[in-house]
Amino acid sequence: MPAPISERKLANAIRVLSFDAVQKANSGHPGAPMGMADIAEVLWRKFLKHNPADPNWYNRDRFVLSNGHGSMLIYSLLHLSGYDVSVDDLKSFRQLHSKTPGHPELGYTPGVETTTGPLGQGIANAIGFAIAEKTLAAQFNRDGHNIVDHHTYAFLGDGCLMEGISHEVCSLAGTLKLGKLVFFYDDNGISIDGDVEGWFTDDTQARFEAYGWQVIKVDGHDADAITKATNDAITETTKPSLIICKTTIGAGSPNKQGLAISHGAPLGDDEIALTRDALSWKHAPFELDEEIYQAWDGKAKGTALQNNWQADFENYKKAYPELAAELERRLQGNLPADFNQKAQDYIQQMQEQGGDVASRKASQNAINVLQPLLPELLGGSADLAGSNLTLFKGAKGIQDDDAGNYIYYGVREFGMTAIANGIALHGGFIPYVATFLMFMEYARNAVRMGALMKQRVIHVYTHDSIGLGEDGPTHQPVEQLTSLRTTPNLRTWRPCDATESASAWVEAIKSKHNPSALIFSRQSLPHQQRDAEQVSNITKGGYVLAKEQSELQAIIIATGSEVGLAMQAYETLSQNGVGVRVVSMPCAEIFVEQDASYREAVLPANIRARVAVEAAHVDYWYKFVGLDGKVIGMTTYGESAPAEQLYKEFGITTEAVIEAVTSLV
C-alpha cells in the first residue's frame, strides 16, 4: 500500500498550478496563492463542508477569498476538489470569457460565492453571509432540526485590513457575536509597494480582541498548527475568530519568496524551474499525479454530507411542513403567491387616498404594509433611522433577537452596503439599507459591486436634494443621482408622491436580478391625479402624467419633488394656450428599456421643445431633451438656508419652467 501523500505535497499542487497559470497568462499574482497554500490545504481538505458535485447545495460552508488578486488560489482549489474547473480552464486564466477571470467573479466559476476585487469588501460579504446564516437559523431551526447550520470562512491579507471598511464591518461582527465566522489573515508583511512596516504597523491582534473577536496566532506553513487553530475557532461559538497566519509570500520560490516582486508579477521561466526543483516537483506545467487528484477529490465526501442533510430536511418537512415550504420559497428567491395582488391593491389605495406627504414618509408607510407580506425583508440603516424613516411596525433588531428582522448598522455606510450584498448572496433575505443620499458616496463602491453581481439589494436614500435645507451643501446631493443612474444593472427611482413611492418599492422587491436605489424627499410633496392606465404605467419608468389640452407643442420632464413644479407650470401654460404635457420619469433606466413605440408615445421625436426639471445636476437630462432643449437644475453645490429660499436662489421654480417652455415654443 503506497504511503499517504504528505500535506506539504498536496499544498504544493496549489503552488505549481498557480504559478504555472500566472506564467502562461503572463499576468497575475502568484505570491498569495503560494504563501497561503498550506492554510488552504488544511481548510479545504479537513474542514470545509461543501459538495463539488453541487456547488449550490444550500447548507454548504461559505468560502470567500477577500484578497481576490490571489485568484489562482481558489481556482486551483476548485479544480483539485472536483468542481467543473478543468485544466484547460486554468490554462485560460485571465483570458476573455474564461471560467478563470483575473479576480473571482460570481457566475463565471462554479464554487465562487462572491466577486472579490476591491480589497476589504470580501470581508464584508463574508460577514453578511454569517449574519444571514445566524438570523435564518434562528427563524427556521427547531429542536432537533438544525437545517440552517454552516460556517463562513474567509482569507484576507494586509491590504484588506488597511482598507477602512474592515474596521466598520469587523467591529460590527464582534458586536453581533458571529461565532460561525472564521477569518484567516495572510500575515506576510508585503504589499505591492514592498514591506508594509513602512505604512502598516497596527497591532492586529489587539485591534480584533478589542472588537470582541477570538484571535489565534499560528505559523501559516505548519499544517498541524493550522488544524488546531481551526478547531479552536470552530469550538468558539460566541465570538468570530481571526487566525493570524505568519506566512512567506511566494513560499517555495528560491529567489523571490518573501519579496514584493512575487506579489503581482509572474515568477518567470527560470525562477519557475528553480522553484520546481526546490519543491521536488518533477511534472510538466499543469500536470499532476492521479494520486494527488484522488487525495484532493471532495465529491464523495461532499455528496455524503449533502445526502445526510437532505435526509434531515425531509424529516424537518414532515415535522414542520409550513416552515419547510416557506424556507424553500425564500431560498429560491420567489415572492409569496399573493404578493403581487396585495401590492397592487396597496398602490391603488395610495392613489385613491391622496394627500400630500414627504416621500420618505410614504416610503415608511409602504414598508409597514409590505414587510408583513415579506418576512424575508431584512431592513437596516446606517444610523439615521429616525430621519430616513426605515423602521417599521414590528421591527426587531437582530442585536436583541437572533430571529429579528432589522439591523442597526451604526454609522457604517460602506460596511452596511457590502454586508447587504453578502446577505443577498447568501439567500433567504431581501435586504434593504438606508442613509441620506449624500452619504451614498461613502458606500459607492459597494453599490457598484452589488450591481456588478446583479444582487437584489434595495438602497433607500432620503434627503434627496437642496430641499433638505439648512444642513447645507455638505448634505445636499447634486451629482449623486447621475452617478447612480449611470451604474449598469442598477435601477434608480425618484418618486413624486405616495403612489409612485409605493410602486417604486414594489418594483424594487420584484427586481430579482437588479439592485435598486429608492430616492426620497425630506419635504412634503403634492399628490398627483392619475387614471388606472397612468398608475399602471409607473412601472414603465416614465409616463404621461398630464396630457396636452391642445396640439402638442412642448414636453416637461420631471422627477420627485420637481413634478409638483412641472404641474404648476403646466396649468399656467395650458391656460395660456400652450399645448404642453408633463412626463413623470421616476426611473429613467426602466423607461429606456421600453419598446420604441411606447417611448415614442411618451416622448414624440418630432417635439423638440423639451424642458427637464430636477434639483440635481443638469447634465444627465440632455439625453432626453437634446442639446436644443433646456434643463433646470443644479450646476453648483448648494447653500445653507430653508428649502424654499434655496429653490428660488438656484432658479428651480415654476416661473423658470414656464419661461423655459415659452422660449422654446
Same domain, 547 and 520: no
What CATH code is carried by the domain that includes residue 549? 3.40.50.920
The strands making up 516-519's β-sheet, listed across from edge to edge, are 406-408, 377-381, 430-436, 458-462, 516-519, 491-493
Same domain, 559 and 454: no
Residue 644: inside a domain: yes
CA dihedral defined by 115, 121, 123, 128, rounded to 10 degrees?
A: -80
191: which strand partners?
Answer: 194
Residue 387: inside a domain: yes
Task: Tell me how far apart the alpha carbons of residues 267 and 285 are, in angstroms, rounded to a whole number.
Answer: 14
Q: Is 426 annotated as a binding residue?
A: no
Q: Is 159 annotated as a binding residue?
A: yes
Looking at the structure of the chain, the number of domains it has is 3
Please state whether the predicted TM-score (pTM) of the whole model is above 0.85: yes
The answer to whether residues 390 and 432 touch, using CB atoms and an 8 Å cutoff, is yes
Same domain, 520 and 554: no
pLDDT at 554: 98
Summarised one tens digit per residue, pLDDT across range 6-65 is 999 999 999 999 999 999 999 999 999 999 999 999 999 999 999 999 999 999 999 999
pLDDT at 111: 98
Same domain, 433 and 358: yes
Per DSSP, 106 falls in state T
Q: Domain ends where: 278, 303, 328?
A: 303
Q: How far is CA 258 from CA 196, 222, 382, 441, in A?
A: 12, 17, 40, 37
Task: Tell me how far apart the alpha carbons of residues 522 and 462 are, in angstroms, rounded to a whole number.
Answer: 7
Same domain, 466 and 510: yes
Q: How confident is the model at residue 402 (pLDDT cuts 50, 70, 90)?
A: very high
Residue 545: inside a domain: yes
Residue type, 206: A
Residue 318: inside a domain: no
What CATH code is carried by the domain that includes residue 76? 3.40.50.970
Summarised one tens digit per residue, pLDDT across range 308-336 is 999 999 999 999 999 999 999 999 999 99
Q: Is 188 annotated as a binding residue?
A: yes
Same domain, 456 and 485: yes
Summarised one tens digit per residue, pLDDT across range 87-128 is 999 999 999 999 999 999 999 999 999 999 999 999 999 999
Residue 1: inside a domain: no
Same domain, 591 and 492: no
pLDDT at 16: 98
Same domain, 457 and 505: yes
Q: Is 28 annotated as a binding residue?
A: no
Q: Is 125 annotated as a binding residue?
A: no
Q: Is 60 annotated as a binding residue?
A: no
Summarised one tens digit per residue, pLDDT across range 139-172 is 999 999 999 999 999 999 999 999 999 999 999 9
CB-neighbour burial class of residue 525 (10 A; exposed 0-12, middle 13-18, buried 19+): buried
Asked whether residue 1 carries a pLDDT value surpassing 70, the answer given is no
Q: Is 522 annotated as a binding residue?
A: yes
* Structural domain of 95: 7-303
Neighbours of 54 (CB within 10 A): 14
Q: Is 561 annotated as a binding residue?
A: no
Same domain, 446 and 478: yes
Q: What is the CA radius of gyration of the chain?
A: 28
Q: Is 29 annotated as a binding residue?
A: yes
Residue 313: inside a domain: no
Residue 75: inside a domain: yes
Residue 158: inside a domain: yes
Asked whether residue 177 carries a pLDDT value surpassing 90, the answer given is yes
Same domain, 153 and 219: yes
Q: What is the mean pLDDT of the chain?
A: 98
Q: How confident is the model at residue 357 (pLDDT cuts 50, 70, 90)?
A: very high
Of how many residues is the chain composed? 665
Q: How confident is the model at residue 4 (pLDDT cuts 50, 70, 90)?
A: confident
* DSSP code string of 571-609: HHHHHTT--EEEEE-S-HHHHTTS-HHHHHHHS-TT---
Q: Is 368 annotated as a binding residue?
A: no
pLDDT at 2: 62
Same domain, 99 and 222: yes
Residues annotated catalytic, as ranges:
413
Same domain, 568 and 505: no
Q: Domain ends where: 468, 495, 525?
A: 525
Q: Is 392 annotated as a binding residue?
A: no
pLDDT (mean) for 196-208 = 97
pLDDT (mean) for 525-542 = 98
The strands making up 214-219's β-sheet, listed across from edge to edge, are 62-65, 152-157, 181-187, 241-246, 214-219
Q: Domain ends where: 463, 494, 525?
A: 525
Asked whether residue 600 carries a pLDDT value surpassing 60, the answer given is yes
pLDDT (mean) for 634-658 = 97
Asked whether residue 435 carries a pLDDT value surpassing 70, the answer given is yes
Q: Is 405 annotated as a binding residue?
A: no
SS3 24: helix
The answer to whether residues 559 and 520 touch, using CB atoms and an 8 Å cutoff, is no
Q: Is 171 annotated as a binding residue?
A: no
Of 401, 404, 400, the closest CA to residue 376 belongs to: 404
